[in-house]
Amino acid sequence: MSQIIDALKQRRSIRKYQPRSVPKETLRQILETASYAPSAHNAQPWRFIVLTEAEDKTVLADAMAQVWLVELEKDGSPKKMRWATVNRSIDRFTSAPVLLLACMSMENMDVYSDEKRQRAEHDLAVQSLAAATQNLLLAAHANGLGACWYCAPIFCQDAVRQALGIPDNVEPQALLTLGYPAETPKTPKRLAFENFVFYGKMGLGSGSLSCKKMGLRSGSGYFLFSL
């Protein structure tokens, strides 16, 4: 049990990788752990697309970058800054030995006649995919690899679908970079246990520290936002 707790506490988001390929068997072992995640109705709504070829990674990174350029312009970002930010994003994705696109399907989820319950069912699928994705992060760490969870695809789902030939009934949700670490990040700031756990009912008091007070990031470009 202590090994599991240690893995949970020691895992870090890795953004820089060695130029080493990940063995196919190691990658398979990591991907198989997704199936052991809990899911609503045991529907297992996760779908993962594996990209290891440079051309495939470039196609996806470029497709997402084009959407982001438009969004940055809408936000009033200066042209020079827009391109610098987007190029950094492209480099981060294309330099990773492996990209794992985390997608979600409602195929085996329950269907309801009312919008409220159907939205809730969609949320259950998202929660299930998140659990499977966490399994991948921990499995990567256990195998001596690093990974980083990016939120970019959910902001440009149509572009991602078109780039990789994904059908309309499959939703791109997140992107994981994966490889052998070329950095050792420091432990990021964490909320103390007392600030997010409540007993009996949720109160105000010490449990409501803001991101600003904690020195945590409260907002940034979503293509570089990672978990």
- Domain assignment present for residue 97? The answer is yes
For residue 144, name the pLDDT band (cuts at 50, 70, 90).
Answer: very high
Q: What is residue 200's predicted lDDT score, i.e. its pLDDT?
A: 87
CA 212 to chain centre: 23
- Domain assignment present for residue 166? The answer is yes
Give the lowest-confidence range in 4-13, 53-62, 124-133, 203-212: 203-212
Q: What is residue 219's predicted lDDT score, i.e. its pLDDT?
A: 47
For residue 220, name the pLDDT band (cuts at 50, 70, 90).
Answer: very low
How many Cα neighbours within 13 Å face the side chain of 24?
0
- Domain assignment present for residue 222? The answer is no
pLDDT tens column, 166-182? 999 999 999 999 999 99
- Domain assignment present for residue 203? The answer is no
Cα angle for residues 166, 171, 175 (degrees, 5° grid): 90
- Domain assignment present for residue 212? The answer is no
| Other C-beta atoms lying within 10 Å of the C-beta of residue 50 | 16
190 phi and psi angles, rounded to 5 deg: -125, 145
Q: What is residue 2's predicted lDDT score, i.e. its pLDDT?
A: 84
Give the lowest-confidence range in 48-52, 133-137, 200-204: 200-204
Q: What is residue 226's predicted lDDT score, i.e. its pLDDT?
A: 67
Residue carrying structure tokens 């020195």: 215
For all residues of the chain together, what is the average pLDDT? Answer: 92
Total domains in the chain come to: 1
Which residues partner with 179 through β-bridges?
A: 146
Report helix angle 157-164 to 54-74, nearest 10.
160
- Domain assignment present for residue 48? The answer is yes
pTM of the model: 0.90
How many Cα neighbours within 13 Å face the side chain of 200?
2
Mean of the pLDDT values across residues 30-36? Answer: 98
- Domain assignment present for residue 223? The answer is no
Among candidates 225, 223, 226, which has minimal Cα distance to 72? 223
CA distances to 179, 202, 208 from 146, rounded to whole Å, are: 6, 36, 32
- Domain assignment present for residue 227? The answer is no
CATH number for the domain spanning 39: value is 3.40.109.10
Residue 215 in this model has a pLDDT that exceeds 90: no
DSSP label at residue 181: B
Mean of the pLDDT values across residues 138-162? Answer: 97
Which residues partner with 48 through β-bridges?
A: 102
What are the residue ranges of helices labelled H in 21-114? 24-32, 54-74, 79-94
Is the CB of residue 129 less than 8 Å from the CB of residue 173? yes
Mean of the pLDDT values across residues 3-28? Answer: 95
Measured distance CA(58)–CA(55) in Å, rounded: 5
CA distances to 50, 144, 181, 212 from 131, rounded to whole Å, are: 18, 20, 23, 28
**Structural domain of residue 94, as residue ranges?**
2-187
